[in-house]
A and B are shown apart, each in its own frame.
Chain A
Amino acid sequence: MKRLIFWAVVIVLLAMAPFVLRSYNLYLLNLAAVKIIAAIGLALLTGYTGQLSIGHAGFLAIGAYGTALLAQHFGLPFWVGIPVAGLISGLAGFILLIPALRLTAIYLAIATLAFGTAVAEALPRWAAVTGGYQGMRVPRASFFGVNVQNDVAMYYLALAMTVLLLLVARNIVRSRVGRAFVAIRDKSMAAQACGVSLAKYKALAFFVSALYAGLAGGLYAHVVGYISPAEFGLAKSIDLFIMIALGGMASLPGPVLGALFLTYLPHWLSGFRGLQSIIYGASLIGVVVFMPFGIWGFVRKWTAPDKVQSLPKPLRAAVAFVRGGGGA
């Protein structure tokens, strides 16, 4: 009950943001939402199921271009276009299923890299459809005739999608499906002996993960209103990977933290391009050496019951609260 109230307050506060924040800040939050959704999708695949992907920007691109093209050629409104494009992306996820069933970690990573590169290279060169290097304008989003192509309306769309998809991810993770994912990741033979079908659950993981990336891409298309191939290259795939590695990939708070980090850090450091890569690079190495379970894993570890006992009382209460509210 307490937790329900906590989350209700959080959501109400978030819903009030447009009354306080300037348009640009909303726009940043919208971009953060895109990253959060995509990162959660990647975490389900890589963190939970153990299937390394460094080509996820390919799915983001399918979602973004899919949404834009569906709106342009079929006049689909955004609330149909985004889900349909997401679904297309999800189905495209099956492309990687066969490699995933046959290959071990690093080879699968290469296959996903190949997929991401194939998509990223096709976008600018398939100019008749995608508008080439210049990119394409995304038709304005409208809701039953009302123009909603503005940062405030997009903020509510982004918020709704983020909350919904986080809940869905949480439900998945806490069901037999989530357990099957982790079982496959940790001991695939034992998982099979328990009745978990590798083919079925890997397929599911790729589908859901690509679906999330596709939905994120669709949201992105409408948030920025203009898409071009440069935004869906290897760098974007790597960014997504960094988000989950940094935040803690086998959790849901982890990718959220990572996505926020990678949205605001470049913003704050926009004057110092080099500093940004240094911080990314150093934190990646730091994570490998000191925090194998990412920031969230670190938080969990230091807030474990036995550690918490030794904390001063007010801190203990706060920690208990975070633990109760976070949970993966």
Chain B
Amino acid sequence: MLAQLIVSGLAAGSLYGIMALGLILIYKTTHILNFGQGDMAMFSTFIALLLFRTYGVPLSAALGGALVTGILLGVVVDRGLLRWAKNAPVTSLFIATLGIGMILQAIALWMGLIDARPFPYALRGPPLFIGDVVLRQHDLLVFGVALAVSLVFFLVFKFTKVGIAMRATSQNRRAAQLMGINVGRIGTWSWALGLGTGAIAGCLVAPIVFLDLTSMVFVMIKAIAAAVLGGFTSLPGAVVGGLLLGVIENLFSGYMPPAIAPLKTTFVFTLIILVLVFRPHGLLGERSVGGH
């Protein structure tokens, strides 16, 4: 029982973690909390569904299409829109991302996303049994992708020029600028990478929850919660926070009496408020970043 709860919790948590990675990447380098992340992920995922179902593109190519859509979306959002509002306060930019999300919802609606649509599993097949723990093949895929995405992030940040510039920008924007880093371009990269990651998360979540206009919004909220647990500005923290969140949720609903167990999400978000108040740098982090 315990092992099963933890394993399924980790699977759900990996999804939160992947989504949180994209969110935090954008937040770190641009200081914008992208409240349209859910809608943007929904849009990319929907493109994959369209390619696969309507145009008969093979699933793997369709999923690639989602990734490309996410990346392009990132470029468009940053270059096409946010650039115009460069001097607006962060609150306004946050409102703008909300607006972009709404427009994407409308476009998806017009393109035919009216009811909840089933989304294909990339890996189907009989579940695996490890001891008495049941593991769906999709869970395995999720673990694999989470690992791969984390690895890619790690490598990009550690070894590529863009990644190092991103790190510098997130630590001190002004200094980075003075060192000759094109902060604007770093913002575009972050948006592209962030929304690409969102698309990946979307394609992994969609088979489980079905795809409709708002199904990704809730994943985004969970991702925000995961990010808070992880300290909100740390990329590894986002992943670990996601895993933690998934496990906490599952253990809560597994072990609480039936009357309280369904309140797991309420519990989690109450916990988030407490974390924000008492450990603004997250459950794991040490540096203070949340407060003043």
Contacts and interface: CB of A to CB of B under 8 A. Distances in A.
Interface centre among A115, A121, A126 (most CB of B within 10 A): A121
Contact of A277 (B93, B109, B280, B291): B109
8 contacts: A52-B91, A99-B277, A103-B291, A114-B269, A117-B221, A121-B266, A122-B263, A281-B103
Contacts of B81: 285
Contacts of B84: 289
Interface string A89-129: 00000010011001111110111011101110110011010
Interface residues of B, number: 47
B80 to A, nearest CB: 11
A105 B94 CA distance: 11
A277 B102 CA distance: 5
A264 B249 CA distance: 40
A105 B266 contact: no
B102 A278 contact: yes
The interface size bin for chain A is 35 or more
Interface in A237-294: 238, 241-242, 245, 273-278, 280-285, 287-289, 292
Contacts of B280: 102-103, 107
B273 A115 contact: yes
A292 B266 contact: no
Interface in A193-237: 234-235
A238 B105 CA distance: 15
A288 B102 contact: no
B232 interface: yes
Contact of A115 (B110, B228, B269): B269
A168 to B, nearest CB: 26
B147 to A, nearest CB: 27
Contact of B291 (A102, A121, A281): A102
Contacts, number: 137
Contact of B85 (A111, A115, A125, A289): A289
B141 interface: no
Interface of B: 33, 35, 81, 84-85, 88, 90-96, 98-107, 109-110, 214, 217, 221, 224-225, 228, 232, 259, 262-263, 265-266, 269-270, 272-273, 276-277, 280, 290-292
A194 to B, nearest CB: 20
B85 A288 contact: yes
Contact of B99 (A121, A126, A282): A282
A292 B33 CA distance: 18
Nearest to A106: B33
B221 A234 contact: yes
B276 A114 contact: yes
A113 B270 CA distance: 11
Nearest to B290: A107
A110 B263 contact: no
A281 B90 contact: no
B210 to A, nearest CB: 17
Contact of A99 (B100, B110, B276, B292): B276
Contacts of A110: 33, 224, 228, 232, 272, 276
B103 A278 contact: yes
A103 B290 contact: yes
Given A118-B266, A238-B98, A278-B106, 16 more contacts: A52-B91, A102-B291, A103-B291, A114-B228, A114-B270, A118-B265, A235-B214, A241-B98, A276-B106, A277-B103, A285-B81, A285-B96, A288-B93, A288-B96, A288-B99, A289-B85
Given A110-B276, A118-B270, A277-B109, A289 B88 contact: yes
B103 A292 contact: no
B94 A109 contact: yes
Contacts of A118: 265-266, 269-270, 273
A237 to B, nearest CB: 11
Nearest to A119: B266
A121 B292 contact: no
A98 B280 CA distance: 12
Contacts of A235: 214
Contact of B265 (A102, A104, A121, A277): A121
Nearest to B222: A117
Contacts of A121: 263, 265-266, 269
Given A115-B273, A234-B221, A245-B95, A125 B266 contact: yes
Given A102-B280, A113-B221, A114-B225, A284 B263 contact: no
A172 to B, nearest CB: 23
Nearest to A284: B99
A170 B49 CA distance: 52
A285 B100 CA distance: 7
B276 A274 contact: no
Interface in A27-60: 52, 54
- 4 closest A-B pairs (Cβ-Cβ)? A284-B99, A281-B102, A281-B103, A121-B265
Contacts of B109: 273-274, 277
A138 to B, nearest CB: 23
Contacts of A99: 273, 276-277
B272 A111 contact: yes
Contacts of A278: 102-103, 106
Nearest to A95: B273
Contacts of B273: 95, 99, 111, 114-115, 118
B94 to A, nearest CB: 7
B33 A284 contact: no
Contacts of A234: 217, 221
